Amino acid sequence: MANGTLGVSQLEMLTQSGTGTITIVPPATNTNRTLTLPDEAGTLVTTASLPNPLTSETAIATTSGTAIDFTGIPSWAKRITLLFSGVSTNGASNWLVRIGNGSIISTGYSSSSTYFTSGGVTTQSNTSGFFIRSDNAANFISGAMVIYNISGDTWVETWVGGNGENTQTHLGGGQLALGGVLDRIQLTTLNGTDIFDAGLVNIMYE
């Protein structure tokens, strides 16, 4: 082996049928390096053969507008997490998270959300999006909604959040048969006119 060293164990080169050329390119370095092979049988793992990685998008400030959109979600994504940090609006409308394929879907959801306060428990349901109970402009909600592909184009979601300012805890869940491959997600309000005025959102998918 040119410019190499064999120890007690010998390196045996096996050839397979085929006409392709395998090229191993060393790095340009001025430092001696050692690559240690494991003492076990197996197949070399490359970045191309790894499962789809957990990917985080760029966070968006929820300080303006009536809707926050993330598009370009890849077709292989099977779990999407929408993260909230101190999100608020200027009104009392409850919130919706919607998903879509080419465009946002606003019908066909089966969703409910409950919040717990020192004054009691309130639950509401909605069919136009994954529901988040808010109903107070003073709410600054933080938490995570996780949307899972359960089978085919059917997605289910779970929601957990909190609002320390008003001592509230939020829980929810729902499902939607999307009718296509999910490629986008939107945070908006039930009335569609309240404006986001504080906080940060982001998505992660895998």
Inside any domain, residue 52: no
Inside any domain, residue 27: no
pLDDT band at 15 (very low <50, low <70, confident <90, very high): low
pLDDT digits (tens, 9 = 90+) for 19-30: 888 888 888 999
CA distance 116 to 183: 33
What lies within 8 Å, CB to CB, of 22 at 6+ separation is none
* Amino acid occupying residue 68: I
pLDDT digits (tens, 9 = 90+) for 61-86: 999 999 999 999 999 999 999 999 99
| Count of domains forming the chain | 1
Inside any domain, residue 116: yes
Inside any domain, residue 42: no
Radius of gyration of the chain (CA): 25
For the cut 70, the answer to whether the pLDDT of residue 89 exceeds it is yes
Torsion of CA 125, 113, 147, 167, to 10 degrees: 160
In DSSP notation, 13-26 reads P---SSS-------
Identify the CATH number of the domain in which residue 177 sits: 2.60.120
CA distance 121 to 112: 13
pLDDT recorded at residue 1: 45
pLDDT digits (tens, 9 = 90+) for 128-186: 999 998 878 878 999 999 999 999 999 999 999 988 776 788 899 999 999 999 999 99
Record the pTM.
Answer: 0.78
For the cut 90, the answer to whether the pLDDT of residue 52 exceeds it is no
Note down the domain range covering 171: 60-205
Inside any domain, residue 51: no
Inside any domain, residue 38: no
Inside any domain, residue 148: yes
Residue with the larger pLDDT of the pair 127 and 4: 127
pLDDT recorded at residue 13: 65
Inside any domain, residue 65: yes
